[in-house]
């Protein structure tokens, strides 16, 4: 099995075994492989040696991600002017499945994202509804109209359409599996004023 297929299968197993993920959206039944060329970022190049401690449930995804990292297309959708150099040097995400993912789906978008320690991902929003599921590390999540929450491996947090949200990572890199569903599936997040 290719490393990317191995990652997809590890994510699928986690998704289907996790009620919060299944209840949010069923695993997409329209996946088809599409050609997406590898693209590295600073964070992906050091992924193999990063300490990323998950749970028994999330560890297989972390292991598969390390293996697949060089073959994945890592994206950064913000500029240095928006988020600063250190953010860009420690953050990156992969669209595993979705409109532009390694596996195409028109129903659901699934990302894996990493953020370095002690990083503030400032207020942003997007049209699609979102669920973050923590794979490794810890982060404080804030969202307009919701109490702050500490996220750690195995915990999920939802954001509604256009609900501004912010994330502050703690002393370890933060790794998450994120789902987008509904209108705006092929959109992008943008920074907003709180």
Q: Are strands 92-98 and 103-104 parallel, antiparallel or unpaired?
A: parallel
Between 95 and 130, name the residue whose CB sits nearer to Zn ion: 130
Q: How far is the CB of 128 from Zn ion (least distance, A)?
A: 8
Angle between helices 59-68 and 3-17 (to 10 degrees): 160
- The continuous run of DSSP H or E covering 156 comes out as strand 156-159
Between 43 and 131, name the residue whose CB sits nearer to Zn ion: 131
Rounded CA Rg of the chain: 15
Q: How far is the CB of 165 from Zn ion (least distance, A)?
A: 6
Residues ≥6 apart with Cβ < 8 Å to 79? none
- The continuous run of DSSP H or E covering 80 comes out as helix 80-83
Residues contacting Zn ion: total by CB under 5 A: 1
Between 59 and 160, name the residue whose CB sits nearer to Zn ion: 160
Instruction: Output the DSSP codes for 28-52.
Output: PS--EE-----B--HHHHTGGGS--
Between 122 and 130, name the residue whose CB sits nearer to Zn ion: 130
Q: How far is the CB of 114 from Zn ion (least distance, A)?
A: 15
Q: How far is the CB of 178 from Zn ion (least distance, A)?
A: 7
Which residue's Cβ has the minimum distance to Zn ion? 130
Window 93 to 132, contacts with Zn ion (CB under 5 A): 130
Window 128 to 157, contacts with Zn ion (CB under 5 A): 130
Between 136 and 176, name the residue whose CB sits nearer to Zn ion: 176
Rounded to whole angstroms, the Cα distance separating 41 from 53 reads 21
* Partners of 186 in beta bridges: none
Binding mask 18-57 for Zn ion (x = CB under 5 A): ----------------------------------------
Q: How far is the CB of 167 from Zn ion (least distance, A)?
A: 8
Rounded to whole angstroms, the Cα distance separating 179 from 93 reads 12
Binding site for Zn ion (CB under 5 A): 130
């Amino acid at each position: 099995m290719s490393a990317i297929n191995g990652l997809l299968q590890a994510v699928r197993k986690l998704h289907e075994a996790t009620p919060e993920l299944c209840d949010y959206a069923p695993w997409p039944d329209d996946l088809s492989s599409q050609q997406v060329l590898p693209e590295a970022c600073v964070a992906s190049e050091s992924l193999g040696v990063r300490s990323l401690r998950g749970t028994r449930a999330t560890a297989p995804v972390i292991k598969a991600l390390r293996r697949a990292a060089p073959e994945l297309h890592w994206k950064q959708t913000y500029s240095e002017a928006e988020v600063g150099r250190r953010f860009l040097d420690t953050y990156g995400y992969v669209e595993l499945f979705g409109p532009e993912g390694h596996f195409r789906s028109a129903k659901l978008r699934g990302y894996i994202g990493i953020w370095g320690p002690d990083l503030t991902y400032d207020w942003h929003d997007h049209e699609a509804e979102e669920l973050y599921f923590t794979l490794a590390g810890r982060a404080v999540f804030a969202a307009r109209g919701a109490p702050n929450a500490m996220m750690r491996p195995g915990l999920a947090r939802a954001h509604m359409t256009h609900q501004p949200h912010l994330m502050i990572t703690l002393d370890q890199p933060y790794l998450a599996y994120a789902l987008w569903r509904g209108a705006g599936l092929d959109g992008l997040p943008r920074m907003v004023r709180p």
